[in-house]
Structure 1
Amino acid sequence: MRKSLILLLATLGISLSAVAQQSGWQPPAGHTTISIWPKTVPGGVENPAPEADTTTAKDALIAGKPLVRLGNVARPTITLYTPKGNNTGAAVVVFPGGGYKILAMDLEGTEVCEWLNSIGVSCVLLKYRVPDSGPLPKSQAALQDAQRAVGIVRAHAPDWKIDPNRIGVLGFSAGGHLAAALSTHFEQRLYEPIDGADKLSCRPDFAVIVYPAYLAIAEQNFAANPEIRVTDQAPATFIVQAEDDPVHVENATLYFLQLKNARVPAELHVYSEGGHGYGLRKTEKPVTGWPKLAEAWMHTIGVLK
C-alpha cells in the first residue's frame, strides 16, 4: 500500500515532504499567498523537517479553544486578507508569536486578520522561519523575512488597494520582539537585494506590540536588549501587557520608556491581570479588550480616517 502511494505521488509530481508540509497549516481559500523568497532563503539553510502543527492533546486551551502551533517553517510566506466591506487603505503585517520555536497561526494570526478586516484594515499574515530564527543576535532569519515582507507589501500596494504610507506591523510575544526589531532595523536590508521590493522602505508606519518578549533581559536586572536601539525614526507604537505576565511586563514598560526618551509617539496599557498568550480571544480578564483601544489609537494617529 505504501509503495503504491509513493508511486502515485511520484506520478503526480508531488513529494512526500510537500504533502506533509501542506498538512501543517494552510490559509483559508480565496486569499492571495506569496512565497517571499522566490528562490532560496538567505543563507540557503532550510529546515529539513516537514512543516507541521505541533499541537498535542496536552497543550493548554486558550479561552476554551485549541490553537495551531506551526513548527519547522522553512519557506516563509505572506497571505493577504482584504476587507470585504469598507477598505480604509491601511494595512498591517501580522507577526504571530511562539518563542521563535513555533507560530500561533490562528490565535495570533488568522483571528487577528479577521478583526483587522472588520475595521477596514487589510491584513498581511507573515509565516516567518522557525525554529531558531531569533531572538537577535542569535539569528537574523525572522527579521530578514519581516523586512522582505514589508517591502513586498509596499510593492503591491496599488494592486492590493493599500496606502503605502499607512502600512504597520502587529506582533505578539516573540512577534512583538520582531515588530520592535523591524521598527529599529529598517535602514539597511540584512540580505542581498533581490528585486524592486527591496528598493522600497521596510520601515513600518506604525506598530502594535502585544505582550512582547526579549526586549528586556531578565538575567541582567531587566536591562534593555542591546540589539533594540530606539531612535527618533522609530514609528508610533501601541503597547499592551499584563503585570502578571510570566514573560515579564518589563518588556513593555522598558520599550515604552525607550520610545518616550526618543520622543517617539507611544501609548502603553498595563493591566493588573491577564497572563500571556491570549491573542484576541475573550476571557473574563479586561486585558482582552485591548483591540478596541488599539482601534481608537489608530484613529488618533491618523491611520484610520
Structure 2
Amino acid sequence: MLDRRSALATFVTGLLASGLARGAKAEIQPMTDPTEIIELWPAGPPGAEKVTAVEAIIERGDPKGLRDRALTHTRNPTLVVFRPRTPNGAAVMLIPGGGYERVVLDKEGYETARWLADRGYTCFVLFYRLPGDGWAAGPDAPLQDAQRGLRLIRSRAAAMGFSPERLAIMGFSAGGHVAASLTTRFTAKVYERTDAADDLSARPNLSALVYPVITMDPASMHGGSRKQLLGANPTPERIAFYSPEKQVGADLPPVFLLHAADDKSVPVENSLAMFSALKAKAIPTEMHVFEEGGHGFGLRFVTGKPVAAWPGLFEAFAKRHGV
C-alpha cells in the first residue's frame, strides 16, 4: 500500500509539473513546478474501508486558454509545497475550492501559492478528501485532512525556516468552508493520534476566507456544497453544526473575509453572516465586499476590476497581525 501510494503521488506530481511547464498566458505568469509533496497519512487516511472511488485529474478548460485542472475523488491527501526564494518567516496552507466534488489545482491553488511564495511565504496547497466518497468520517473527512495538514506543517516549521506561530490558512469557495471549519473547530477530535505531529495545535494563527461557502442554511447556502457535505435532507441540528457562523468561539484567530456582491454561486450573505458572528465574539476581522467579481476569480479574473486589490489587502492584514 505504501509503495502504491508513493507511486501515485509521483505520477500526480509528474502530471502537474508537465502541465505547469507549458506555462500560462494573460496576467498569470508561468508557475513554479510543484516538486515537493507531503503525504498526510503515512499508513493511509482513516476510514477508507468503504471507499471505492478512483482518484483522477481532469482538465476543465478555460476561456483564456489557461490550465484549469481539478482533482476528483481524492484518495491520498497531500500537501504540495512551494518554497520561497527569500523566506519571510511565515507560511500559508491554501485550501482550494470545488464544491466538495473536486479540488481545483491551478486557479485557487498553484497560482495563489506562487504569488504568496514570491512575497516570502512558504506555501502548502492542501488536496483534501471529499465527503461524498464514502469515508467513515463523512462530512468531517475534509476537516480531518485540514487539521492533520496544519499540524504537519507546524511540525516542520523549524526545518523549513518559518515560525510555527506565523501560520495562516486561506480557503476558497468550498475550500473556504473547510478553512472556516478548521478556524472554528480546531480543537475538535475528529481522528485518532497518528504520530507526534498530532500533539501540536491545529489552530491557525490567521484565517483568510475567499468567497467562502459558510452557512448550510437554505436561505443563503450553496446547494451543491451542502448536498455533497450533508446529503439531501439534513436535520436542523446538522445544518447548524456544519455552519461555521454558528460555531464561532472566543479563541479564534484573526479572520480576513473577501467576497464579490455579484457572486451568483455562493451568495455574499455567507461572508456577511461570518463577519457578524466574528464581530459578536470580538474576533479581529476585516471584510472586503467588492461590487463585481463574480465567483471563483482567484488571481486570473481580476484585471481591470477593483477586486484586483485583494491579494495586497490580505498581505497587509496578515502583516498587521504578525503573519
**Which TM-score applies when normalising by structure 2?**
0.80
Partner residue in 1 for 2:27: none
Matched with 2:295 is: 276
Give 1:57-68 correspondences, 5 Å limit.
Answer: 59-61=61-63, 65-68=66-69
Deviates more, 1:29-38 or 1:183-192: 29-38
Q: Cα distance 1:111–1:225, how it changes in 2: closer, same or farther (>3 A)?
A: farther
Q: How does 1:128-143 map to 2 (within 5 A)?
A: 128-130=128-130, 132=132, 139-143=139-143
Q: How does 1:1-305 map to 2 (within 5 A)?
A: 18=8, 22=12, 25-26=15-16, 31-45=35-49, 47-56=51-60, 59-61=61-63, 65-85=66-86, 87-130=87-130, 132=132, 139-213=139-213, 215-220=214-219, 225-227=240-242, 228=244, 229-246=247-264, 247-281=266-300, 282-303=302-323
Q: Tell me what 2:29 maps to.
A: none
In the aligned structure 2, how far is the partner of 1:129 from the partner of 1:90? 26
How far off is 1:235 after superposition? Answer: 0.9
Instruction: Report the equivalent of 1:7.
Output: none
Deviation string 1:235-260 (CA, Å, 9 cap, x unpaired) is 10101000110110011111011111
Q: Look up the match of 1:6.
A: none
Please give the alpha-carbon distance, in whole angstroms, between the structure 2 residues aligned to 1:46 and 1:151: 26
Q: 2: CA distance between counterparts of 1:21 and 1:269?
A: 39
SS at match of 1:26: helix
Contact 1:242/1:271 (CA < 8 Å) preserved in 2?
yes
Larger radius of gyration: 1
Go from structure 1 to structure 2 and tell me whether the alpha carbon gap of 1:195 and 1:298 turns closer, same or farther (over 3 Å shift).
same
- Superposed CA deviations along residues 192-235 of structure 1, whole A, max 9, x for unmatched, are 0010000000100001110001x124524679844320011111
1:204 is aligned with what amino acid? P
Mapped partners of 2:286, 2:127: distance in 1: 27
Would you say how many aligned residue pairs link Structure 1 and Structure 2?
283
Match of 1:8?
none
Structure 1 position 22, deviation (Å): 3.1
User: Taking structure 1 as reference, are residues 67 and 170 closer, same or farther at Cα in structure 2, changes over 3 Å only?
Assistant: same
Higher percent of residues as helix: 2
List per-residue Cα deviations over 1:82-137 (Å, max 9, x = no partner). 1112x111001010100111111111111111011111111011111136279xx9
Ranges in structure 1 where 5+ consecutive residues have no aligned partner: 1-12
Distance between the aligned counterparts of 1:133 and 1:285, measured in 2?
38
Contact 1:51 1:74 in 2 (8 A): yes
Q: How far off its partner does 1:24 sit? A: 8.9
Question: What amino acid sits opposite 1:231 in the alignment?
Answer: G
- Report percent identity of matched pairs: 38
**What is the match of residue 10 of structure 1?**
none
Deviates more, 1:250-259 or 1:221-230: 221-230
Give the C-alpha shift of residue 277 in structure 1. 0.6
Deviation at 1:51, TM superposition (A): 2.3
**Deviation string, structure 1 residues 120-178 (Cα, Å, up to 9, x no partner):** 111011111136279xx952111000000011011111111110001110010011111
Q: Flag the 1:240–1:40 CA change in 2: closer, same or farther, 3 A.
A: same
Q: Structure 1 residues 208 and 14 mapped into 2: Cα distance closer, same or farther (>3 Å)?
A: closer
> Could you tell me how far 1:263 is from its partner in structure 2?
0.5
- Determine helix, strand or coil for the equivalent of 1:216: coil
Relative distance call for 1:45 and 1:29 in structure 2 (3 A) is farther
Q: Tell me the distance in 1 between the aligned counterparts of 2:220 and 2:153.
A: 38
Distance 1:175 1:192 in 2: 23
